[in-house]
C-alpha cells in the first residue's frame, strides 16, 4: 500500500493513529511487566509474609528493583518509571491482601471462572432431584431393582437373589427391604426397555455379564444412555441410578479370557466409580442356575443398597445442610493461577464427570469415591480457588492440595513453587496442563520442556504426586484417585498435627499451612 495509505490523512487523523499505536505499545509493556512480577513470586513472598506491625521499607523496594532491573520487560518501562513503580507497589499490596477486584486478570479472575464452571457444569441431574424419584421411601422400604443382562443372565440373577431371600425380603443392618425386579434384556434406547414405568420406579441397577458378548451388551447400554443423557444435560449413565457390575463367568470361558473379562469389568466399574463383584462360583463358572455364588450375590446386594443409601445421604447434604455443616471425610484444596492459558473446566472435568459429584457451594464439589483397603466409599470435598484466594482457607483443616500450573507459563510454576513452601506435612498433587499430549508437549517447545522438567523436580523435592494433562484430551474420572487414596491413608496424622497446632499456637486455630500472601504464622520451635 506504500505511502498512499497515510498521506491522505489529516494531521488530526495521523495524531489519533499515532496515539492509539502508542497506547497499544504501552499496554503491552505493562502486561509484560506484570508477568515479570508474577514470575518473581518467591521474591514477593519474602516481603508479603511480614509479621504483625512490620512495614515494607525503601530498602525493601530497592532490593526488589535490583532483582528485576536486568530484565528487558523492566527496562521497557524506563520512560514510564512512575507507572512502573505504581504497578510494583500495587502488586505488593495485592499479594499482601488479595481481593478479587484487584486481581491483575480481572474480570477474568480464576475465581470468577471457577464459579461459572461449577454453576453451569456441576451435576444437578434432574433424575436426582425431580420428586427424589430414585430415593427409597422410608415408610415401606420398597426396593425396586433393574437387572440388565442379555442371554437370560438378568432373569438368572433375579431368580438367584429371590432364592436367597425370604419372601422377597432382603435384610441389611437390621433393616428389611421388600424386593421387586425389572428385567432388561434388549436395546435400552427403546421405550419397552425403559428403566422406569408408570408402576415401577427403580432405586438401583445390576449390570451382569458372563462372556465377551454380554460384556459388550452392558458396555453398549451404558454408552447409549450416557449419550442420551448428554442431550438432557445429565452426564450420568442411567440418569445417575446407583449401579453394581456383576461378573458371572460362563463355564466355557478359558483362563485367559476369564482374567481379561474380570479386568474389563473392574475397569468399567472404576471409571463409573461403582462396585464390581465377581459372583462366579468357586468352581470357576457353570451353566444357568449353577454359576452364581450365593454369598457373593448377597454381598453384591449389600453393595447396591449401600450405594443407594449413600446417594440419598449425599443428596440430603446438597438440599438440606448449609455448606459449613457438611462433614466430608476429606477436604482438599485445588488452586489455579489467574490468567493461565487453559480452561478451568478442563482441570475440573474428571471431578465433574464423576458419577457421584455434586456442587456443595460456589467454589466446592463433593464427590464419593472408593478409598482405603476396606473398599468403602468416602466423601471428598474439593474446594477450587485461585492461588490468591487460598488465603481465605488459612484457618481451615485441609487434608491435601492439588496445585495446577500451565506448562506454557513461567509465572504459573513460579507461583505454585512459592505457594508450596508454605505447605507442610500434607499430601500434594501437582498438575501440569499442556496443549497436547505430554510427550508431544515435551518435545515441541523448549519452554514447555523446561517447565515440565522443573515441575517434576519440584514434585520430587516435595514428595508430591506429579502428572501432566492435555487441554486437548479429556481425562478419566479416576485420574485423582491415587492422590485421594494417599490423603485418606494419611488423614489421622494430618488431623493430629492440625489439632496440636490449634491448641499450642493460637486460641483461634491455625492451619496445616501458613497464610498465602499474608503474614507467616509464628511457629514454636519443634
Residues 40-79 have pLDDT tens digits of 999 887 765 655 556 778 888 898 999 999 999 999 998 8
Which percentage of the chain shows pLDDT scores above 70? Answer: 78
DSSP 3-state assignment of 177?
strand
- Name 401's bridge partners: 333, 428
pLDDT of residue 75: 93
The confidence band for 425, taking pLDDT boundaries of 50, 70 and 90, is confident
CA 286/CA 250 separation, integer angstroms: 6
447 and 343 in a common domain? yes
pLDDT of residue 323: 45
User: Would the pLDDT of 289 be above 60?
Assistant: no
Average pLDDT over residues 460-479: 85
**Sign, Cα dihedral of 229, 226, 484, 391:** negative
Tell me which of 253-262, 322-331, 480-489 is least confident: 322-331
106: in domain: no
Q: What is the DSSP string of 150-163?
A: STTHHHHHHHHHHH
174: in domain: yes
Average pLDDT over residues 267-281: 85
Q: 264: how many CB neighbours lie within 10 A of its CB?
A: 18
330 and 307 in a common domain? no
288 and 349 in a common domain? no
Choice between 45 and 203, residue whose per-residue pLDDT is larger: 203
CA 426/CA 98 separation, integer angstroms: 24
Q: Which of 221, 246, 379 is nearest to 304 (CA)?
A: 246
CA angle, 195 then 198 then 199, to 5°? 90
| Phi–psi pair at 333, nearest 5 degrees | -110, 125
pLDDT in tens, 330-372: 999 999 999 999 999 999 988 988 877 888 888 999 888 888 6
CATH number of the domain enclosing 141? 3.40.50.300
pLDDT of residue 518: 35
201 and 64 in a common domain? no
pLDDT of residue 424: 83
Average pLDDT over residues 111-133: 69
Residues 189/222, Cβ–Cβ less than 8 Å: no
Choice between 195 and 313, residue whose per-residue pLDDT is larger: 195
355: in domain: yes
CA 329/CA 471 separation, integer angstroms: 30
pLDDT of residue 468: 93
329 and 306 in a common domain? no
Residues 370/139, Cβ–Cβ less than 8 Å: no
Q: How far is CA 239 from CA 15, 202, 224, 232, 236, in A?
A: 63, 11, 11, 10, 5
193 and 164 in a common domain? yes
CA 466/CA 334 separation, integer angstroms: 14
User: Would the pLDDT of 522 be above 50?
Assistant: no
408 and 452 in a common domain? yes
Tell me which of 121-135, 194-208, 478-492, 505-519 is least confident: 505-519
Beta strands 169-172 and 175-184, pairing class: antiparallel
What residues contact residue 269 under an 8 Å CB cut-off, 6+ apart?
A: 245, 275, 276
pLDDT of residue 309: 74
Residues 332/401, Cβ–Cβ less than 8 Å: yes
Average pLDDT over residues 155-166: 88
What residues contact residue 223 under an 8 Å CB cut-off, 6+ apart?
A: 237
CA 134/CA 241 separation, integer angstroms: 7
User: Among the residues of 436-507, which ranges form H helices?
Assistant: 438-444, 446-462, 481-505
pLDDT of residue 73: 93
Quote the number of domains for the chain.
3
338 and 394 in a common domain? yes
pLDDT of residue 314: 57
Q: Which of 45, 170, 38 is nearest to 110 (CA)?
A: 38
pLDDT of residue 218: 92
Residues 47/60, Cβ–Cβ less than 8 Å: yes
pLDDT of residue 470: 86
pLDDT of residue 439: 56
The confidence band for 234, taking pLDDT boundaries of 50, 70 and 90, is very low
- Which of 96, 124, 142 is where one domain is finished? 96
- Name 362's bridge partners: none
Tell me which of 13-17, 84-88, 377-381 is least confident: 13-17
Here the cell at position 296 is: 457373593
Q: Which of 260, 502, 240, 305 is nearest to 397 (CA)?
A: 502
The confidence band for 284, taking pLDDT boundaries of 50, 70 and 90, is low
Choice between 471 and 413, residue whose per-residue pLDDT is larger: 413
- Which of 268, 283, 314 is where one domain is finished? 314
Choice between 55 and 35, residue whose per-residue pLDDT is larger: 35
Taking each helix axis from N to C end, the angle separating 410-420 and 11-39, rounded to the nearest 10 degrees, works out to 30
Taking each helix axis from N to C end, the angle separating 41-48 and 58-68, rounded to the nearest 10 degrees, works out to 170
455: in domain: yes
Residues 454/413, Cβ–Cβ less than 8 Å: yes
pLDDT of residue 240: 67
511: in domain: no
496: in domain: yes
140 and 49 in a common domain? no
CA 120/CA 330 separation, integer angstroms: 24
pLDDT in tens, 361-407: 889 998 888 886 666 778 899 999 999 998 778 778 999 999 999 99
pLDDT of residue 285: 52
User: Would the pLDDT of 515 be above 80?
Assistant: no
User: Would the pLDDT of 179 be above 80?
Assistant: yes
- Which of 293, 314, 335 is where one domain is finished? 314
The confidence band for 246, taking pLDDT boundaries of 50, 70 and 90, is very high
pLDDT of residue 442: 56
**pTM for the complete prediction?**
0.67
Which structural domain range is residue 36 located in? 4-96
Residues 243/205, Cβ–Cβ less than 8 Å: yes
374: in domain: yes
128: in domain: no
The confidence band for 140, taking pLDDT boundaries of 50, 70 and 90, is low
pLDDT of residue 426: 94
Residues 7/15, Cβ–Cβ less than 8 Å: no
297 and 149 in a common domain? yes
DSSP 3-state assignment of 172?
strand
405 and 352 in a common domain? yes
307 and 338 in a common domain? no
pLDDT of residue 352: 87
Amino acid at each position: 500500500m506504500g505511502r498512499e495509505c497515510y498521506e491522505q490523512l489529516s494531521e488530526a487523523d495521523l495524531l489519533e493513529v499515532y496515539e492509539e499505536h502508542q497506547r497499544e505499545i504501552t499496554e503491552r509493556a505493562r502486561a509484560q511487566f506484570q508477568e515479570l512480577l508474577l514470575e518473581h513470586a518467591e521474591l514477593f513472598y519474602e516481603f508479603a509474609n511480614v509479621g504483625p506491625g512490620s512495614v515494607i521499607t525503601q530498602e525493601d523496594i530497592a532490593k526488589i528493583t535490583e532483582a528485576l532491573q536486568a530484565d528487558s520487560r523492566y527496562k521497557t518501562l524506563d520512560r514510564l518509571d512512575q507507572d512502573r513503580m505504581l504497578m510494583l507497589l500495587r502488586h505488593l499490596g495485592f499479594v499482601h491482601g488479595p481481593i478479587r477486584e484487584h486481581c491483575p486478570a480481572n474480570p477474568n479472575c480464576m475465581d470468577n471462572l471457577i464459579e461459572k464452571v461449577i454453576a453451569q457444569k456441576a451435576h444437578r441431574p434432574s433424575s436426582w432431584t425431580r420428586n427424589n424419584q430414585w430415593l427409597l421411601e422410608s415408610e415401606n422400604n420398597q426396593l425396586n431393582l433393574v437387572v440388565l443382562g442379555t442371554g437370560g443372565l438378568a432373569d438368572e440373577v433375579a431368580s438367584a437373589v429371590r432364592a436367597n431371600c425370604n419372601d422377597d425380603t432382603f435384610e441389611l443392618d437390621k433393616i428389611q427391604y421388600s424386593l421387586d425386579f425389572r428385567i432388561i434384556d434388549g436395546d435400552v434406547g427403546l421405550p419397552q426397555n425403559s428403566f422406569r414405568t408408570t408402576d415401577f420406579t427403580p432405586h438401583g441397577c445390576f449390570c451382569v455379564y458372563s462372556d465377551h458378548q454380554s460384556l459388550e451388551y452392558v458396555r453398549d447400554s451404558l454408552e447409549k444412555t450416557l449419550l442420551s443423557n448428554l442431550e438432557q444435560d445429565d452426564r450420568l449413565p442411567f440418569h445417575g441410578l446407583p449401579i453394581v457390575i456383576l461378573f458371572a463367568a460362563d463355564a466355557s470361558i478359558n483362563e485367559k479370557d476369564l482374567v481379561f473379562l474380570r479386568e474389563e469389568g473392574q475397569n468399567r466399574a472404576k471409571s463409573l466409580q461403582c462396585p464390581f463383584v465377581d459372583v462366579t462360583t468357586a468352581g470357576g463358572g457353570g451353566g444357568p442356575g449353577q454359576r452364581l455364588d450365593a454369598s457373593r450375590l448377597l454381598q453384591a446386594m449389600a453393595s447396591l443398597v449401600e450405594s443407594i443409601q449413600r446417594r440419598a445421604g449425599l443428596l440430603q447434604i446438597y438440599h438440606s445442610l448449609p455448606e459449613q455443616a457438611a462433614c466430608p471425610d476429606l477436604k482438599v484444596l485445588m488452586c489455579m493461577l489467574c490468567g493461565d492459558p487453559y480452561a478451568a473446566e478442563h482441570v475440573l472435568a474428571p471431578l465433574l464427570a464423576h458419577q457421584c459429584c455434586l456442587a456443595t457451594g460456589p467454589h466446592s464439589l463433593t464427590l464419593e469415591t472408593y478409598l482405603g483397603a476396606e473398599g468403602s466409599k468416602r466423601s471428598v470435598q474439593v474446594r477450587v480457588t485461585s492461588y490468591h484466594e487460598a488465603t481465605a482457607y488459612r484457618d481451615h483443616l485441609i487434608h491435601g492440595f492439588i496445585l495446577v500450573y500451565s506448562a506454557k507459563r513461567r509465572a504459573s510454576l513460579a507461583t505454585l513453587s512459592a505457594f508450596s513452601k508454605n505447605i507442610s506435612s500434607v499430601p500434594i498433587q501437582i498438575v501440569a496442563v499442556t496443549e497436547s499430549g505430554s510427550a508431544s508437549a515435551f518435545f515441541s517447545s523448549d519452554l514447555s520442556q523446561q517447565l515440565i522438567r522443573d515441575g517434576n523436580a519440584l514434585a520430587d523435592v516435595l514428595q508430591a504426586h506429579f502428572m501432566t494433562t492435555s487441554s486437548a484430551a479429556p481425562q478419566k474420572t479416576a485420574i485423582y484417585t491415587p492422590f485421594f487414596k494417599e490423603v485418606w491413608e494419611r488423614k489421622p496424622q494430618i488431623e493430629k498435627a492440625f489439632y496440636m497446632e490449634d491448641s499450642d499456637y493460637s486460641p483461634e486455630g491455625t492451619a496445616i499451612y501458613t497464610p498465602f500472601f499474608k503474614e507467616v504464622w509464628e511457629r514454636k520451635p519443634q
